[in-house]
Amino acid sequence: MEGKESARKKKKWPENLADFFELPKELLLNLPRMTLVGNIQFYLENYGGIIEYSAELLRLKIRGGEIIVRGRNLAIKHFIGDEIFIEGEISSLEFQ
């Protein structure tokens, strides 16, 4: 039982550190940070790579799963490091 409790504390220490220093959690926890402008632009930070890409579907790897962007005329405008910018008619965002 103590092993499970210790594991929970280890998982929470980065979150507690972020809270203590009032830092954005996405920085310490490597969480994705998204900006959606209407349904035409999508900006994502802290993603791990492109899994699948077409004009109707974009699957992006994130910590613990993936983000699926569905729509029409989807186009990657730029991607640098762990940032990606997409334009098109976005109909849905899904987390898996």
What CATH number is associated with residue 51?
2.60.40.2000
Q: Are residues 69 and 89 in the same domain?
A: yes
Q: Report which of residues 30 and 87 the model is more confident about.
A: 87
Contacts (Cβ under 8 Å, ≥6 apart) of 3: none
16 plus 36 within the same structural domain: no
Task: Specify whether 40 is located in the same domain as 1.
Answer: no
Domains contained in the chain, number: 2
Indicate if 51 and 38 belong to the same structural domain: yes
Q: What is the pLDDT of residue 12?
A: 74
Q: Give 57-77 pLDDT, tens digit per residue.
A: 999 999 889 999 999 999 999
Q: Is pTM, for the whole model, over 0.85? A: no
Question: Is residue 18 located within the same domain as residue 37?
Answer: no
pLDDT tens digits along 7-57: 555 557 656 656 666 655 555 556 888 999 999 999 999 999 999 999 999
pLDDT at 31: 80
- Which region, left, alpha or beta, applies to residue 35 given φ > 0 means left and ψ of -120 to 50 means alpha? beta
pLDDT of residue 76: 97
Residues 51 and 87 in one domain: yes
